[in-house]
């Protein structure tokens, strides 16, 4: 069954509207779960612009969540007389800009590394940024930063942030979709398949992967800013998290590496598994995540979308 273009667009708009209406009928626990799903889906999609399309799997994207969140917090504290929506916009702009600058600065050295070396060097970047945030008093990483409440008084904060995360995730999905269809996206795929050949054939690989790195970092940073607002108070440990670093890879792996919707599907599945199914078994958490990872790698390296494709072929 092949869907026409209008059908896809209509389907997406209907799905988005249904999602946006979620908080009106869902019980509050599931609004929280939905928040987390949309946040994770946004991060997974942003990660996949570099990790899925270009094949540069980063193991340290929480660096950008942290940098975005802390810049936004520090800037917003200077402008706290602004009305709430403007304040959020200021924070988003500042967080996005700082991530753009950081990623553009480190893009040249770090993108010379490939495969595992790139992954671990990014882990290093996230540890170093976390350490700097934590130890230099100016950033208040160990003390913690407060974020002003920005939810309008007529709205439940949980639903408000749900809608914000939905908007963020939808924006990132649109950007990823646009990239995937553009010449830039084809260039990224060619880098994933064979970087040296792509370069030989005239694809500007250096420029493309640097651009993908910056775009991915900025979008991750924007989600980080919203996340920080939804927490209200952050320290180094609450935004620079190694489990986020890992989860971003797992989302793509679970959904389907290199596909457009894969990371979002994977994120929703993993959040559902860890929050709803394993929510009461905290002692069992690490073990279950590990087991899931092992099973995934051994039995479904193509993720959920890969399994569906295989089944469709067999049928």
Partner 1 sequence: MNLIAQTLADGLVLGGIYALAAVGFSLIFGVLHVINLSHGVLVLLGAYLALIFSQGLHVDPLMCIPLVMAVLFCIGYAYQRLLIQRAVDRASINSMLLTFGVALMLQNVMIWLFSPDMKNITPTYAFSSFRIGPVDFDAVRVSALLASLVLLSLLALFLKYSSMGRVIRATAQQTMAAQLCGVNVRHVYALTFAVSAAFAGAAGIVLGIILPFSPNDEGTWTLNAFVVVVLGGVGSPAGALIGGLLLGLVSTLTAQYVGPSFPNVTMFLLLVILLLVRPQGLLGNAFAPSR
Q: In the complex, which residues of this chain contact partner 1 (CB under 8 A)? A: 57, 109-110, 112-113, 115-117, 119-121, 123-125, 127-128, 131-132, 134-135, 242, 246, 249-250, 253, 283-287, 289-294, 296-298, 301
Which pair of tokens denotes residue 206? Answer: 């250096």
For residue 126, the minimal CB distance to partner 1 (Å) is 10
For residue 238, the minimal CB distance to partner 1 (Å) is 17
For residue 146, the minimal CB distance to partner 1 (Å) is 23
**Cα–Cα distance measured from residue 41 to residue 260, given in angstroms and rounded to the nearest whole number:** 11
14 or 281, CB closer to partner 1?
A: 281
10 or 294, CB closer to partner 1?
A: 294
Strands annotated E in 204-310: 233-234
For residue 305, the minimal CB distance to partner 1 (Å) is 17
4 touches 12 (CB < 8 A): no
For residue 56, the minimal CB distance to partner 1 (Å) is 11
32 or 241, CB closer to partner 1?
A: 241
94 touches 30 (CB < 8 A): no
**Cα–Cα distance measured from residue 74 to residue 84, given in angstroms and rounded to the nearest whole number:** 16
126 or 230, CB closer to partner 1?
A: 126
Alpha-carbon torsion (174, 273, 252, 46), positive or negative:
positive
111 or 226, CB closer to partner 1?
A: 111
For 123, other C-beta atoms within 10 Å of its C-beta total: 19
211 or 254, CB closer to partner 1?
A: 254
**Cα–Cα distance measured from residue 2 to residue 63, given in angstroms and rounded to the nearest whole number:** 40
For residue 39, the minimal CB distance to partner 1 (Å) is 22
For 29, other C-beta atoms within 10 Å of its C-beta total: 12
What is the Rg, in whole angstroms, of the alpha carbon atoms belonging to the chain? 19
């Amino acid at each position: 069954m092949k869907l026409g273009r209008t059908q896809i667009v209509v389907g997406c708009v209907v799905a988005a509207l249904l999602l946006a209406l979620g908080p009106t009928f869902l019980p509050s626990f599931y609004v929280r779960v939905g928040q987390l799903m949309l946040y994770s889906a946004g991060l997974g999609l942003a990660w996949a612009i570099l990790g899925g399309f270009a094949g540069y799997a980063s193991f340290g994207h929480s660096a950008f969540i942290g940098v975005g969140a802390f810049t936004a917090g520090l800037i917003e504290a200077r402008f706290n007389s602004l009305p709430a929506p403007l304040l959020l916009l200021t924070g988003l702009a500042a967080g996005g800009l700082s991530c753009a600058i950081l990623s553009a600065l480190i893009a040249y050295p770090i993108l010379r590394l490939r495969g595992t070396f790139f992954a671990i060097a990014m882990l290093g970047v996230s540890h170093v940024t976390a350490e700097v945030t934590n130890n230099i008093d100016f950033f208040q990483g160990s003390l913690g930063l407060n974020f002003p409440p920005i939810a309008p008084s007529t709205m439940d904060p949980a639903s408000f942030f749900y809608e914000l995360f939905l908007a963020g995730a939808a924006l990132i999905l649109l950007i990823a979709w646009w990239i995937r269809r553009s010449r830039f996206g084809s260039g990224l795929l060619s880098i994933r398949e064979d970087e040296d050949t792509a370069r030989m054939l005239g694809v500007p690989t250096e420029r493309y992967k640097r651009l993908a790195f910056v775009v991915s970092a900025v979008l991750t940073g924007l989600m980080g800013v919203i996340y920080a607002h939804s927490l209200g108070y952050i320290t180094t440990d609450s935004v620079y998290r190694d489990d986020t670093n890992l989860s971003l890879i797992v989302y793509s792996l679970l959904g389907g590496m290199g596909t457009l919707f894969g990371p979002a599907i994977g994120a929703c599945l993993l959040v559902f598994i860890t929050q709803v199914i394993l929510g009461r078994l905290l002692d069992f958490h690490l073990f279950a995540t590990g087991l899931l990872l092992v099973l995934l790698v051994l039995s479904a390296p193509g993720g959920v979308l890969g399994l569906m494709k295989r089944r469709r072929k067999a049928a």
